[in-house]
Amino acid sequence: MITTVVGSYPVIFKEKLSFFEKILETFGLYDKYKYAIEIAVKDQISAGINIISDGQVRGDMIEIFTKNMFGFEDKRVVSKVEFMKPITLKDILYAKKIAKKLNPNVEIKGIITGPSTIASSVRVENFYTDNKDENLIYDIAAALNKELLAIERHVSYIQIDEPILSTGIMDLDVAKKAIDITIKGVKKPIAMHVCGDVTKVADDLFKFNVDILDHEFSSIRKNLEILNNIPKKVGFGCINTKSKKVESVEDIKNLIMEGLEILKNNEYLNKNLKDNILIDPDCGMRLLSRDIAFNKLKNMVLAAKEF
């Protein structure tokens, strides 16, 4: 079965800079995050992950985007939101360059934070009425669409992170329309990652125009019930990213088996179940230590290989 990550990896900075790097640093030209990307890529590849990320090392999932879009000052909305320049492209290309040297078969995915999640996490001071203002959400979506069109040809698929959708705070019809705007003209497969308990919103999420729905099944076992009638490919989160305990291969294998058992009854998916499931952690791994994150990924890959 294909393995991937949700996105973020522990951010590791280089301890000892070379002479040349020190000079760059003096002029404010040293990019400390490049090393963090290298570590994230190398670790994912040595763990055996098939579709890696760039590690999303530059900041939290909101900040990365608000810092680089017009209309925001930090996380405050000060004017109409618009696309300025590709945001994640440079790191994707850098990660890809490192990855291809280590293993030419490894694929990379593009990851953006969804419009509803960004809108719900900022302070609206101007131009829009509040966080739920449809115009704000749609303008963010239009900006994100330009981002996707800029990165699409460099990645094997796209993932949109919309964790806010499990909370019930945001209007799911607006969220769905916003995703349509976000993915307009994008031809690569699209996954939507929604962590949290999705049992109450699953029927609505099933209607979103995405190819893969990615959820957490390790820390929230209740989510397993949505596998009975999910009409999309499943991103099967099977590593608890909130816990420091490294799951055993056996434990992970058992959880995947439990998921496959339920999927067998699913009338929407074809019977070649392994084509309908991607194995990944529950969520991003930024807050774990490098050692724990790596060992969790390694065991996850070993478990996936047993199928």
By beta-carbon proximity to Zn ion, the closer residue of 227 and 283 is 283
Give yes or no for residue 224 binding Zn ion (CB under 5 A): no
Rounded to a whole number of angstroms, the minimum distance from the CB of residue 204 to Zn ion is 18
CA dist., res. 13 & res. 17, Å (int): 10
Binding mask 140-179 for Zn ion (x = CB under 5 A): -----------------------x----------------
| One residue of 41, 212, 283, 300 binding Zn ion per CB under 5 A | 283
| Among 190, 246, 192, CA closest to 218 | 246
Residue 265 CB, shortest distance to Zn ion, in Å, is: 27
Nearest to 137 by CA among 158, 110, 111, 164: 164
* Other CB atoms within 10 A of residue 303 CB: 25
* Shortest separation between residue 44's beta carbon and Zn ion, angstroms: 17
Give the residue with the Cβ less far from Zn ion, 43 or 216. 216
Q: What is the total count of residues that contact Zn ion (CB under 5 A)?
A: 3
Phi first, then psi: what are they for 193, rounded to 5°? -95, 120
| Cβ-based nearer residue to Zn ion, 77 or 195 | 195
Helix H segments across 48-197?
A: 63-66, 89-102, 115-120, 134-151, 172-182
Site for Zn ion in 80-99 (CB under 5 A): none
Q: Which is nearer to Zn ion, 56 or 276 (CB)?
A: 56
Q: How far is the CB of 22 from Zn ion (least distance, A)?
A: 37
Burial of 247 (0-12, 13-18, 19+ CB in 10 A): buried
Nearest approach, Cβ of residue 199 and Zn ion (Å): 16
Q: What is the DSSP letter of 4?
A: B
Nearest to 159 by CA among 88, 220, 228: 88
Binding string, 172-211, against Zn ion, x = CB under 5 A? Answer: -----------------------x----------------
Q: Tell the smallest beta-carbon distance from residue 213 to Zn ion (Å).
A: 13
How far is it, in rounded angstroms, from Cα 229 to Cα 212?
Answer: 14
Tokens 């405050």 belong to residue: 76
Give the binding site for Zn ion (CB under 5 A): 163, 195, 283
